[in-house]
């Protein structure tokens, strides 16, 4: 028998996955024009640990497509398990990419087109933490977050201190 108090106390679950280098490896790159005019490129994993130099100009246009995607099977299986599990939960792909459509199409191609994709258009770790904080304000109180960037992980971990009543599971994705 379900009591009203049980329904009122049920956790509101949010499951968030990063896209690049968490769910999929791609041949997309971030191009940099340095202050001296020299050009270089970084993979998403390299960018995650790159410390910008003064005068660096970044070009993320290669991320307007999902180029030559290779699933990272362990995390994709986890994503599929969350989607197919019983109970209420919101599953979201939270990406620094500026275009959600290519990510959405990739998910559709692997049979997971119903997943919500939030494209931030910004690689600032505070933006991912802000999105999660906004979701906490909407009542989500059981949050799982997985990302390959230690900077993003650290930004979200700050929310654990700010919201001790929220259940967090934060995981660094490792290839």
- Per-residue model confidence as pLDDT tens digits over 27-37: 989 999 999 99
Does 1 have pLDDT greater than 70? no
87 contacts 13 by C-beta, under 8 angstroms: yes
- What pTM value is reported for the model? 0.86
pLDDT above 70 covers what percent of the chain?
94
141 contacts 11 by C-beta, under 8 angstroms: yes
């Amino acid at each position: 028998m379900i009591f009203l108090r049980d329904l009122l106390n049920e956790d509101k679950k949010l499951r968030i996955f990063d896209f690049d280098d968490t769910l999929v490896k791609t041949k997309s790159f971030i191009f940099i024009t340095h202050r001296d005019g020299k050009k270089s490129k970084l993979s998403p994993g390299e960018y995650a640990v790159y410390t910008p130099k003064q005068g660096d100009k970044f070009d993320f246009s290669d991320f307007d497509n999902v180029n030559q995607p290779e699933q990272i099977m362990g995390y994709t299986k986890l994503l599929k398990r969350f989607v197919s599990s019983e109970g209420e939960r919101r599953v979201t792909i939270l990406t620094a990419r500026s275009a959600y459509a290519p990510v959405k199409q990739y998910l559709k191609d692997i049979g997971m087109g119903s997943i919500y994709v939030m494209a931030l258009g910004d690689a600032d770790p505070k933006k991912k933490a802000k999105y999660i904080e906004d979701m906490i304000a909407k009542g989500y109180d059981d949050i799982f977050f997985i990302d390959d960037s230690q900077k993003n992980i650290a930004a979200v971990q700050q929310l654990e201190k700010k919201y001790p009543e929220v259940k967090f599971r934060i995981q660094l994705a490792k290839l």
